[in-house]
Structure 1
Amino acid sequence: MGNKRKAKLYFSELAMSGVYHSGINSSFIEILQQVFPQVDEIIFTAEQQHLDACKKKLSAALGQVTYKSVYLPKVKLSTLIQRDLLACFYAIRIMFSSRKEDIVFFSYTLSLTHILIVLLNKFLRRQVFFCLHGQMEAFIPNSPLKLTRYYWGIQRPFFNQNNYGYYIVLGDAIWKDVSFLFKDPSRVIILDHPYNYNNVPEMPSSFSPLRCGQIGVGDKGKGTEQIFYLATLLKEHIEAGSLELSIIGKLNPNLSAYDNGLVKYYKEPVGNAEFHAEVSALHYTLHFRNKDQGVAVASGSFFDTVKYCKPYISLDSRFVTSYAERFPGTGIICTSIEDMAEQIKGMLGKDLTTEYKESFRNIEAMKQELSISRLAGKFSQQIRKFITD
């Protein structure tokens, strides 16, 4: 990396569309520009709405960025193979457009696309990076995924073709559960989920009513149905007006049967301004995955929690608990929903200012450790072992 010859960064999102993953993708682009200073042009390929969402988040100091829009079907199970075949076509175009000195980064990569890129790179020898997301859940014993685990499973042998690509795993907690997939871990980069923490959160002026909520779309994968059970345990306080529980996101229709009238939620996607206002108004965020849920999935809503400096109240999930142990005093880990209810009851009617200020400071320090510049430094340290110009 000492040679400063100019190169291009080909950054591609060939699986997700719309706002999904726009936060992590825009953050990764900023990291990669810091890690590879020889890059003088970024070529960003994605679906148009995704490009638009990322443009709003990207720093104006990035330099030359060329946006290339591609068509992707809507993200749903019935279009999975169609999306994958289209992504294969786009990946071929990207691989043959790049040169050996360029950096080629694929964000969420579908199975056939991943296999194709690895096979192509046996001949092209590009510097290719794959970011591993929720697809890793398919390889976990007793995975909650059903038919799709077989679709994701076809790529398993290709994780060991390490001479033809580098893999990014989003955090130590996930690496512990997926490391068995890689015979040679020396070409695996373990990095915290990138997020842009450029907002300036404020301390709440009042804790009455106490506002607790789950951030993001409500679905079974996040254990969202548990918030309705939690509400029944806290019904007296909700009806008295001393407590508010909410889901700051659209509730998946398959969970509507759990609605008991005690939890505020949205029936349609939440706009950016309203999302910001609602998250800012929270005192604590709620996380309902347990140790058996989302084992290999980084929680984007957890990093929204960090961004807005909100202490969290979480079940004992491997992912959140790993950060609670690493950054003490940033939240509360609970053994059960009943325990969570008791923790919340203990806060009601109290002046929480002193303890909240301490949590706020601890989360601010956590943000510094997880900042774009710190992650870029950690990325650079890890790639020195296998990247040369």
Structure 2
Amino acid sequence: MGSKLIYVDNTSIGSKHEMFNASSLKMFSEIYDDVIFYASRPVKKNTFKILKKKPNNITYKFLPVINAKKRISGYLYAIIAMLTSCFVLIKTNKKDVIFFNYTVLWAFSAQNFLSKILNRKVIFMFHGDLEYLYDSRSPLNSFSKKALYRIKQKKFTPSKGAYFCVLGESIKRNLKKHVSNNFYQKTIFFEHSYIFREHVKDIIINDGIIRIGHLGELRKEKQFINNLFKFSKLLDSLKKIKFYSIGRIYHDKNILKKMGIEIISDSDKRSLSRFEMDKAISMLDYILFLYPKDGYKLRASGALYDAIDSEKPILSLKNDYFNNIFSKYKNIGCLFENENEIVDYLKNIKKQTSSIDYKIIKQKLSPKTVSLGFKKELEKIDFL
């Protein structure tokens, strides 16, 4: 009998984590003989669209996911996610490996308990919520906060067959001082993979303007928004530069305009499609990241991989996660200590043709290559 993995996506709505979902699913199809993919129908459609050609060893099965737009539907969304998690745990064979691609924190205790009494092999994937292990400015509800608090305690006892997964070696390394030893000793990792485009088209605009864009959601509560405003103000003296924020905007567009930050039309009202994002990025000369230095210790950045996919040079402030990626792929851009250093760099920069070998970088970050490293992790814990 061949090896089987049950891939559970019972939280995604629309384009949420779409590239991670598609690329990690593809990665598991390279490792296991059979992969059962549980997700909603819209997510299935979107995931297979990104994959382009569905691997033959992936079989889809339907799971309901509530599109939470209001507070009451948000509670229903979480309850449905917990119920479908329990359904999968009960339904599957104890020889199979179950991968939850996003761990609903407030349901985590129930999932851990059920996997223990059913003797299941389970991998719980953790994303950005881990940042709130050390960041007091948490928007999480009380149940989720309690779950994070619990994994910090020495008495936390995970199920024998449960392991916890993070996106990258640097994240696992940073995690050690924030969680209990029982949690840390059962933490595994794989690097963020990506399904890259082979051919990237640029929009060439010969008007003497250098276009720089920040990628990702822009929210009032995001720590780096003050960094964006500071940077934009520093650009006042550089008339040859235009500054964009590309992604979903949850902020007053008039304030952004006043600060000299341009946005893509309607991005303050809806999420942009991947096609719209790619088109907007194609007109840029540089991609900018201004995440705070104390951020991205326990989370990965999907937008960083969007930047690599677009084959644009990256200008970024230093932080643990970006330092780690730039150390591996040294020529994808430049890291800086502060916003002033970036502005000084731009004062003397001219448009230039990139000499970066993106083909090699993309090959190293492909699901097939990443799967080779993660396969070794899985063999160590007897999940293969």
* Distance (whole Å) between structure 1 residues aligned to residue 6 and residue 204 of structure 2: 46
Partner of 2:145: 152
- For structure 1, which segment, 329-338 or 68-77, has the greater mean C-alpha deviation from structure 2 after superposition? 68-77
Whether the aligned pair in 1 keeps the contact of 2:218 and 2:247 (CA below 8 Å) is: yes
Partner of 2:106: 112
Asked whether 1:251 is paired with 2:246, we answer: no
Partner of 1:376: 371
SS of 1:62's equivalent?
coil
Whether the aligned pair in 2 keeps the contact of 1:18 and 1:49 (CA below 8 Å) is: yes
Structure 1 residue 93: Cα displacement:
1.0
Structure in which a larger fraction of residues adopt helix: 1
Structure 1 residue 294: Cα displacement:
3.5
Equivalences for residues 173-188 of structure 1 within 5 A: 173-180=170-177, 181-184=179-182, 185-188=184-187
Asked whether 1:216 is paired with 2:213, we answer: no
Partner of 1:53: 46
Residues 51-85 of structure 1: per-residue CA shift (max 9 Å, x gap): 33212112424124224141324267775543322
After TM superposition, the score normalised by the length of structure 2 is 0.87
Partner of 1:72: 66
After TM superposition, the score normalised by the length of structure 1 is 0.86
Asked whether 1:30 is paired with 2:30, we answer: no
Equivalences for residues 316-355 of structure 1 within 5 A: 316-347=318-349, 350=350, 352-353=352-353
1:150–1:190 Cα change, 3 Å: same
SS of 1:234's equivalent?
helix
Asked whether 1:84 is paired with 2:64, we answer: no
Whether the aligned pair in 2 keeps the contact of 1:135 and 1:152 (CA below 8 Å) is: no
- For structure 1, which segment, 184-193 or 198-207, has the greater mean C-alpha deviation from structure 2 after superposition? 198-207
* Distance (whole Å) between structure 1 residues aligned to residue 336 and residue 137 of structure 2: 22
1:365–1:13 Cα change, 3 Å: same
1:250–1:154 Cα change, 3 Å: closer
SS of 1:154's equivalent?
helix
Whether the aligned pair in 1 keeps the contact of 2:233 and 2:259 (CA below 8 Å) is: no
Partner of 1:313: 315
SS of 1:221's equivalent?
coil
Whether the aligned pair in 1 keeps the contact of 2:64 and 2:80 (CA below 8 Å) is: no
Whether the aligned pair in 2 keeps the contact of 1:137 and 1:143 (CA below 8 Å) is: no
Whether the aligned pair in 1 keeps the contact of 2:218 and 2:251 (CA below 8 Å) is: no
Q: Structure 2 residue aligned with 1:167, among 153, 160, 164?
A: 164
Alignment size in residue pairs? 371
* Distance (whole Å) between structure 2 residues aligned to residue 316 and residue 173 of structure 1: 14
Partner of 1:96: 90
SS of 1:282's equivalent?
coil
Asked whether 1:200 is paired with 2:199, we answer: yes
Whether the aligned pair in 1 keeps the contact of 2:202 and 2:282 (CA below 8 Å) is: no
